[in-house]
Chain A
Amino acid sequence: MTAVATSPQTVPVTVLSLKPRPDFVVTPPVRDLTDRALAYLGAGFPVHFRGPAGTGKTTLALHVAARLGRPVMLIAGDEGFATSDLVGGQHGYRYRKVVDRFIHTVFKYEEDASDQWVDRRLTTACRDGYTLVYDEFTRSRPEANNVLLAVLEERLLILPADGTNGAYVKVHPEFRAIFTSNPQEYAGVHEAQDALSDRLVSLQVDYYDRDTEIAITAARSGLAADAVALIVDVVRDYRSSGEYDQTPSLRSCIVIATVVAQQQLRAAADDPRFVLVCVDVLGSKAAPNSGEGRERRARHQTMLLSLIEHHCR
């Protein structure tokens, strides 16, 4: 009798099934961006949402991916990424054991172990035709993204030569890729390769218009729209002043409005707790409280108070 035992060859793959939150807001600018992205993706071109932090690029990418109706693979760019983190590599071992008892008095036992190739998300997405969302891809070093060049142009995933699953994977026709990135001047961001940027349709995502910001903030915080409008106006005026080191984004509006709603504060300049929340959230966008930054911080706080006074009388 000969018995052969091998370790399982498949490893579980986790995919995302996306759906919008109940408070997800689709305003005309969001719809416009979504439709444009879907048009490019439908034609087989990868889309790249580029814009400053807090403009909703990732959420927009997930929304577009959800609209495609395919399982989604989400990757977040990272400085420590290597090609193997995208495509896979030799991980663990595959065991094979043979027990030969053809003659009952003879016991023959063989056991060998070989490297096992494990697909990573890009390979799985290419092979099975999933939608790849590569968030903040410029946070990965450019050479880690080299493998994407052939995927996006030749529709061929080139695996390392020692891969046991075949050196090439033909990209599934349903495979789509959506990228997001911050501008190059942001900390921890690498310059995107020209060759890769050239393959992407880049859509600029900027801060939304006032109505969209009010709609999103009201939906996320549960605060009444008229109170939200005051908060959004303060943040937008502050943003246009340029007196900050980190741009105050829609997130600031949502944080302030959520705290106001939960603590049952009044969005008014005569409510000291509301003023404190605004100063806490928006004050952190200025320079640290040291040296030259101290004066700027004081100016900045005065300006913030006057903005609150102006909008929330």
Chain B
Amino acid sequence: MRMKGMREVTTRRDLIDRALPGTRAAMITLLARAELEAIRLQRERSIWATNQRDTERRLERAAARVESLRRALDGGSPRRKGVRRPPRRSLPVRQRTVALEY
């Protein structure tokens, strides 16, 4: 198997970590350390999951904003053949009358 970098070179530490400890006391120490590491990784996974959800939400919002701005800048999406545009809205009423009793 081809190595991709120095990170994949087996070190002395790797060998020690993979080997079972020689004494019962060392085994207990490593067990405690491994359990804590497992808890830490679970916590990290949950933080990553939350971040991913937030980022996806923000991404959706940004994409919608990009789309709406692009549409506004282009004056609406290109007219497709056979699709009728809604009728143009009339200009605002110039005069409104309010009845007042004196």
Contacts and interface: CB of A to CB of B under 8 A. Distances in A.
Contacts of B102: 18-21, 24, 58-59, 62-63, 66
A16 B95 contact: no
Contacts of A19: 99-102
A120 to B, nearest CB: 15
A18 B99 CA distance: 6
Given A17-B98, A20-B101, A109 B91 contact: no
A59 B100 CA distance: 11
A241 interface: no
A99 B78 CA distance: 13
A72 B97 CA distance: 9
A106 to B, nearest CB: 14
Given A5-B75, A109-B73, A16 B94 contact: no
A15 interface: yes
Interface residues of A, number: 28
B97 A17 contact: yes
A62 B54 CA distance: 63
Given A10-B92, A11-B92, A16 B97 contact: yes
A17 to B, nearest CB: 5
Contacts of A15: 95-98
Given A3-B75, A24-B102, A99-B75, A14 B96 contact: yes
B74 interface: yes
Contacts of A62: 100, 102
B75 A97 contact: yes
Nearest to B74: A99
Contacts of A66: 102
Contact of A16 (B74, B92, B100): B100
B60 to A, nearest CB: 27
A13 B93 CA distance: 8
A12 interface: yes
A71 interface: yes
Nearest to A9: B91
A80 interface: no
Contacts of A99: 74-75
A63 B101 CA distance: 10
A66 B95 CA distance: 18
Nearest to A71: B97
A8 interface: yes
Contacts of A58: 102
A8 B100 contact: no
Interface in B59-102: 73-75, 91-102
Contacts of B73: 109
Interface in A43-63: 58-59, 62-63
Contact of B91 (A3, A8, A63, A71): A8
Interface string A88-109: 0000000001010000000001
A13 B94 contact: yes
Among B93, B94, B95, B96, max chain A CB count under 10 A is at B95
Contacts of A11: 92
A266 to B, nearest CB: 31
In the A-B complex, the 6 residue pairs with the smallest Cβ-Cβ separation, listed nearest first, are A62-B102, A21-B101, A14-B96, A16-B100, A17-B97, A10-B94
Interface of B: 73-75, 91-102
11 contacts: A10-B94, A12-B93, A13-B96, A15-B97, A15-B98, A18-B100, A19-B99, A19-B101, A20-B102, A59-B102, A99-B75
Given A14-B96, A19-B100, A21-B101, 8 more contacts: A12-B92, A12-B95, A13-B94, A16-B97, A19-B102, A24-B102, A59-B102, A74-B100
